Chain A
Amino acid sequence: MQTPSTASERSCPSGEWPRDELEDLLSRVTRPGRYVGGEFNLRLKPQARPRVVLSYPDVYEVGMANQAVQILYAAVNDETPGVAERAYCPWPDMGDLMRARDVRLWSLESQAPVAACDLWGITLPHELTFTNVLEMLDLAGVTLHAAARGEDEPIVLGGGPAVADPWPLAAFFDAFFVGEVEGRVAELVEALGARTRAERLDQLGRVPGVWLPPRSAADAAGPPARRQVFTEFARTMPVTRPLVPLLEAVHDRAVVELMRGCTRGCRFCQAGMWYRPVRERPVDLVVEAAARTLAATGCDEVSLVSLSSCDYSAIGEAVERVRALRPGLRVSLPSLRVDSAAVRLGRFGAGQRGSATLAPEAGTQRLRERINKGVDEAQLMDAVEAVFSGGFTGLKLYFMLGLPGESDDDARAIAATATKAAELARRVSRGRARLSVAVSSFVPKPHTPFEREAFAGEVVLRRRQRLLHDALPRTVKAAFHDVSGSLVEASLARGGRGSDAFVEAAWRNGARFDGWRERFDLRAWSTAAASCGVTLGEPAMTDPATAPWREAVDPGVDAAFLDEERRRAEAGLHTEDCRRGECGACGVCGGGVEMEVVA
């Protein structure tokens, strides 16, 4: 462990961090390894400035799996004069102890206070991490409301997919970065060189993609920030020296992002709209990245990741060439497309003799057409057959409940589809197959064709979960998403201006780690909702018809395109993937942004 004396004066005021005190805390909490760093490929730049702290608002093990933090960590440390360190959200046992002993959140690399950094970048993956942001600010001793922060406090910058609607966190952040940050890291770091806090914020506000939220209720919001697209993606080597934790990871594999974006056009999917257009890295680059990452991590498996890796134009060649790097190397694809050819590729992964996953999403053809899933039952059954004839012994099918236009019969149809798949699986695998279904709740998200649709609500979701549960055969294991968590997600995903008060009230009531079922506290949220005039499940402090998120964020995808897609959904019309068919005129391409696919 590095002692505080390795950090600069500013980041380590003398006497503030007696090592004994930290040691004492570590001796009293579960998994102390969460709080000390020491990973493989750690970067230490104790004298470098500016000092950036990167955070993922969840516990260490979850945060370490996040690719955005890995990308930014490498970019700031390896390509700028600055230093990036990290801090994750302390688990409640540690959080409680820190409060009791008045110890402030520290960064893993230098053990210096997070509050003394120049920029605190927090990636925002989804709504159920929002209260953890407040928890971290509080544990760090950083003033909760950005408007009240002092000259010496860090600039707190939010990024990540949940910035699609920044209003529920607007009061707590000095700025938000909208979109893919890789191409703007140098500019962000440079902006921190300004003399005063106000000047630094002013400089940051000039960086494309940065949105500065209004500082009081009376202030008008500035112009929306245009979502940034990393146009050099296809020509840039991905991170090949990622941090590898000493604590056991959920997935111990080398990760290579071979493609960004997905244009299949599933109408419920925010990522599909948010990361447009498709950009593919050439196979040579993917293979080289895999070789370097394997050497740097010591892993014996490579995962070729993207939103839809089976759609990568040369996926067969990429898998073959990466496999050839080393005898016995496993190559996995994170999500298999629902077709038999894709499933056959999946057999090279760790999932062989294990489980595969497929996502038909809905139980009826009518509903699959409405969401533009582009998969019919025959394709699904072909894929199921390929799963079990290819050597997998388990299959998990992902479905959603609460989709627009869904009826109780659609819910029952999921059971019928799963039953048919289970029978086929049993036949093909001679009785050894395990089939399970995972059922989540649909939450309408901003910047999607369904952004103005109604959330199904608690009563409907619980009824359909019960219907489906009762209709499934006992041999099919089912896991249902917690409806209470979805209610909160639905209120925050499309929260309006002022909805930050709702998040703050919930946090003050004790809400944190809301994404952890065992820690989710519905009472904290219900009380907050009552005090803020929010109906749980309804968008907080807004009418979604006004799409308030567009005041802050210009996603690049035209509102007219989304409206047209909504109309086509109602008509049950399929929209083709622009990678294979015609341009759908979503509005993203142009001005240097374009689709890039390998030949």
Chain B
Amino acid sequence: MTRAAAESRPGGGGDAPGTYWLLWFERSGAASYVSHLDTVRALQRTFARAGVALALSGGFRPKARLSLPLPLPVGAAGLDELAVAEVADGAPPPARALGALQAAAPPGITPLRLQTCAMRPRPRALEARYAAEMRGDPGALVAAATWFAAQEGVTVERVTPKGRRTLDLTRYVGDLAVQPVPGGAHVTFVVRHRHDGAARPQEVIDLLAGRAGCASVAHHLTRVGVSYQGLPRDASSGGEE
């Protein structure tokens, strides 16, 4: 079915005012360990439990129309994540729906706020801010970040199902800051999402760990916020826009 056909379908949404909802939510704890698709399913189920019907795609196996514009890595929490939902006719007012969604969500998924949108939003992530803790020698971790800041290019190799590719991390990672704490460091950085892709947070952690000679494990990896293009004014995430 074409998009135009789907949008003109009765009950299928279309661009009527209030049909598109932007749901901002937190993902934390146990929910951090599920995949992108599982998170989508958990949110779809949350809507169903809350009694808010989502519009359905066409075809033999209709799917509820809800998507997450920027997948969160498995193992990462997200403080202010975005879901775009297309609700069916007869949905309750968003102010009332938020409470129902909060009551219906599983542990680890917390709906924070809802905004309606008259037109189908097409958000594109520009930047995502991350924070994590690493265990190891604090001085070595600080030195690793200092080294990275001084480089013009840092090439890393990525193994994908389609084969190996290299990317220059300095194009995609900015504002890398390492704060020493007892037994390790608190690390923050920004991942820039360009038209040709983005760095993975784990690639930043791997780089620091490799330079500092410590375990490549990001503890409490958290996406603090994301800047989007293509959202209505005042729709942003993470409190900085």
Contact = CB atoms under 8 A, between A and B. Distances in A.
Contacts of B215: 24
A37 B48 contact: no
B188 interface: no
Contact of A20 (B29, B44, B48, B135): B135
B60 to A, nearest CB: 7
Contacts of B31: 38, 246
Interface in B16-44: 28-35, 37-39, 41-42, 44
A38 B60 contact: no
A246 B75 contact: no
B108 interface: yes
Contacts of A298: 44-49, 104
A431 interface: no
Contact of A1 (B48, B51, B60, B108): B108
Interface in A15-41: 20, 23-24, 26-27, 32-33, 35-40
Contact of A26 (B41, B46, B51, B75): B75
Contact of B33 (A2, A36, A40, A44): A36
B29 A297 contact: no
B34 A246 contact: yes
A244 interface: yes
Given A2-B29, A40-B45, A246-B42, A33 B34 contact: yes
B91 interface: no
Contacts of A27: 75, 217-218
Contact of A23 (B45, B48, B106, B217): B217
Interface residues of B, number: 33
Contacts of A297: 45, 49
B107 interface: yes
A295 B219 CA distance: 36
Contacts of A32: 33, 74-75
Contacts of B34: 33, 38, 246-247
B38 A247 contact: yes
A428 interface: no
A160 B33 CA distance: 31
B151 to A, nearest CB: 26
A36 B31 CA distance: 8
Contacts of A23: 75, 217, 219-220
A219 interface: no
Nearest to B183: A20
A246 B60 contact: no
A295 B100 CA distance: 12
A22 to B, nearest CB: 10
Contacts of A2: 29
A525 to B, nearest CB: 34
A240 to B, nearest CB: 13
Nearest to A28: B217
A296 interface: yes
Nearest to A23: B219
Contact of A246 (B51, B104, B106): B106
B35 A20 contact: no
Given A1-B29, A38-B107, A246-B31, A33 B45 contact: no
A353 interface: yes
Contacts of A44: 107
A246 B107 CA distance: 10
A39 B215 CA distance: 30
A299 B30 CA distance: 21
Nearest to A295: B49
Nearest to A20: B219
A32 B60 CA distance: 32
A374 to B, nearest CB: 36
A77 to B, nearest CB: 15
A247 B39 CA distance: 9
Interface string A232-273: 000000000000101110000000000000000000000000
Contact of B106 (A40, A248, A353): A40
Nearest to B216: A27
A299 B47 CA distance: 11
Interface in B107-147: 107-108, 135
B205 to A, nearest CB: 10
A38 B42 CA distance: 11
Interface string A316-338: 00000000000000000000000
Contact of A33 (B38, B44, B48, B219): B38
Interface string A330-363: 0000000000000000000000010000000000
Contacts of A37: 30, 107
A42 interface: yes
A576 interface: no
B140 to A, nearest CB: 18
Interface in B58-75: 60, 74-75
A300 interface: yes
A246 B31 CA distance: 8
- From A37, A44, A298, A300, name the one whose CB has the most chain B CB atoms within 10 angstroms: A298
Interface string A290-317: 0000011111100000000000000000
B106 A42 contact: yes
A524 B35 CA distance: 35
A42 B108 CA distance: 11
B115 to A, nearest CB: 23
A435 B31 CA distance: 40
B30 A38 contact: yes
B106 A38 contact: yes
B58 to A, nearest CB: 14
Interface in B152-199: none
A2 B107 CA distance: 9
A24 B106 CA distance: 24
A108 to B, nearest CB: 8
A38 B29 contact: yes
A1 B49 contact: no
Contacts of A35: 33
Contacts of B49: 40, 295-298
A565 B189 CA distance: 74
Nearest to A350: B61
Contacts of A36: 29-30, 33
**List of 3 A-B pairs having minimum Cβ-Cβ separation, nearest first:** A38-B30, A298-B48, A1-B29
29 contacts: A1-B32, A1-B33, A20-B219, A23-B219, A27-B217, A32-B75, A33-B30, A33-B35, A33-B38, A33-B74, A37-B30, A37-B107, A38-B29, A38-B30, A38-B34, A38-B107, A38-B108, A40-B106, A44-B107, A244-B106, A246-B34, A295-B49, A297-B45, A298-B45, A298-B46, A298-B47, A298-B48, A299-B48, A353-B60
Given A24-B215, A296-B49, 16 more contacts: A1-B30, A2-B29, A23-B220, A27-B217, A32-B33, A38-B33, A39-B106, A44-B107, A246-B30, A246-B34, A246-B39, A246-B42, A248-B38, A297-B49, A298-B104, A299-B48
